[in-house]
């Protein structure tokens, strides 16, 4: 989970933590975490197809969604 990246490995940033917190507060979002090399970058969000992700850039990739 994202908390491990933030607390155990200290590879997250305040901006990434805020983005993850915002994402997981949305109805229909099951979880979110930073991905990549750490210290910023991308967030992967696992959400129900009906989740309202207005304000996030969503791109469909082979029946999955990639959020940037």
The domain locations on the chain are 2-67
Tell me what pLDDT residue 29 has: 92
Cβ proximity of 33 and 20 under 8 Å: yes
Q: What is the pLDDT of residues 17-59, one digit of tens each?
A: 888 898 899 999 999 888 776 666 778 888 888 888 887 766 5
pTM: 0.67
DSSP state letter for 11: -
**Architecture of the domain defined by 2-67:** 2-Layer Sandwich (3.30)
Q: How far apart are CA 49 and CA 34, in angstroms?
A: 20
Tell me what pLDDT residue 27 has: 93
Q: How far apart are CA 4 and CA 13, in angstroms?
A: 13
Tell me what pLDDT residue 55 has: 78
């Amino acid at each position: 989970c994202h908390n491990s990246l933030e607390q155990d490995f200290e590879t997250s940033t305040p901006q990434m933590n805020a983005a993850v917190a915002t994402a997981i507060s949305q109805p229909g979002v099951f979880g979110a975490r930073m991905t990549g090399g750490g210290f910023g970058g991308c967030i992967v969000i696992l959400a129900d197809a009906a989740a309202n992700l207005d304000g996030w850039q969503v791109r469909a990739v082979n029946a999955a969604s990639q959020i940037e």
